[in-house]
Amino acid sequence: MIKRVLTALAATLLPLGAHAADAITGAVQRQPTNWQAIVMFLIFVALTLYITYWASKRVRSRSDYYTAGGNITGFQNGLAIAGDFMSAASFLGISALVYTSGYDGLIYSLGFLVGWPIILFLIAERLRNLGRYTFADVASYRLKQGPIRTLSACGSLVVVALYLIAQMVGAGKLIQLLFGLNYHVAVVLVGVLMVLYVLFGGMLATTWVQIIKAVLLLCGASFMAFMVMKHVGFSFNNLFTEAMAVHPKGAAIMSPGGLVKDPISALSLGLGLMFGTAGLPHILMRFFTVSDAKEARKSVFYATGFMGYFYILTFIIGFGAIMLVGANPAFKDAAGQLIAAITWRRCTWRMRLAATCSSALSLR
């Protein structure tokens, strides 16, 4: 039985490995090497590698490696969970969804957020009390150890593989744009760095890198949202009015239903976003890094607050992109369509900083 499951898993994962290398190849034009971007990027990479080195000196047991010894506080773990969840998909994806679909982008992000009360009331405390290292410890508590652990591992690998492909594609494309590297080389570089972080630093390094990532993302997104609101005199009415004036859909961007039209699809999407969050292995395993169930509940409470604030910022940034990018002829071709690849020389220093930070942070 186990051999059949592993064979099926291998057959599923092997084709997936090629997707990151082949996904949307050529969609981003190769840019000349820019040393300013390289220096900024390497600063972030060097910082995370130093944290990995620091953490590796403090890993002395299996518990230290897999759960940071259970010494992470609820506040720290909440920031780390937020950093885990606020990935390139959230920062770039939700903002882009708001840019194209308007109000529906906010509904989509709220679907992720609603899943966290489910984790708080139904999962966090029980998971921390019953498990040691992974959620498979909990699943196997009343079932046969061997089969259920094998099934849990297979399910985790499938979910993580699908999740990882999207992250590596995003990071690879950004590095290709900033460095002028070949896309396949960029993807390999991203993979090597991620393996180094986890292999040598364990959960302690991962936790602190995610904390730093969360702080940088929250500060960077706050700055971008502040500048957008300053541009419109800190008036949401002005923001929405100007966005509707330049968006091709006009006032329709303020109405729901443009992204998902029929009720069945909307219900399916909502359930997937709500309960899918509660099944992400890299999120669930974070509850084992705290000392007890009380700290696990605190982790979810803080993480929900950080992410709720972050999604509000992405909503503002998305509408700011409609207003500032959509109305700027420098970013459009002769037919009036948004240029797929914006050259580095057209970007202001603020845009360069945002793009470089995004590529560095998306590595985690």
Q: What is the pLDDT of residue 357?
A: 52
By C-alpha distance, which of 277, 264, 240, 253 is closest to 110? 277
> Tens of pLDDT along 151-183?
888 888 888 888 788 778 878 887 877 777 788
Percent of the chain with pLDDT over 90: 16
pLDDT of residue 344 exceeding 50: no
By C-alpha distance, which of 329, 114, 99 is closest to 228? 99
Would you list the domain boundaries of the chain?
Answer: 30-361
Q: What is the pLDDT of residue 73?
A: 92
Q: Is the pLDDT higher at 127 or at 352?
A: 127
By C-alpha distance, which of 357, 16, 339, 338 is closest to 158? 16
> Tens of pLDDT along 263-290?
888 888 888 888 887 777 778 888 888 8
Q: Is the pLDDT higher at 13 or at 43?
A: 43
pLDDT of residue 76 exceeding 90: yes
User: What global pTM score does this model have?
Assistant: 0.79
| DSSP percent split of the chain into helix, strand, coil, nearest 5 | 80, 0, 20
Which pair of structure tokens corresponds to residue 244? Answer: 């509707």
By C-alpha distance, which of 44, 82, 80 is closest to 290? 80
**Distance, CA of 7 to chain centre:** 30
User: Rounded distance, CA 358 to CA 216, Å?
Assistant: 10
Amino acid identity, position 172? G
Yes or no: say if 104 and 260 are a contact pair by the CB < 8 Å rule.
Answer: yes
Q: What is the pLDDT of residue 286?
A: 86
Q: Which of 225-229, 272-276, 296-300, 328-332 has the lowest mean pLDDT?
A: 328-332
Full DSSP string of 282-321:
HHHGGGGSSSSHHHHHHHHHHHHHHHHHHHHHHHHHHHHH
Which pair of structure tokens corresponds to residue 238? Answer: 């002005």
Q: What is the pLDDT of residue 189?
A: 87
The contacts of residue 1 (CB under 8 Å, 6+ apart) are 147
By C-alpha distance, which of 95, 125, 172 is closest to 284? 125
* Residues forming beta bridges with residue 332, ordered by sequence position: 338
Which pair of structure tokens corresponds to residue 83? Answer: 């950093």
Q: What is the pLDDT of residue 124?
A: 80
By C-alpha distance, which of 297, 302, 301, 298 is closest to 125? 297
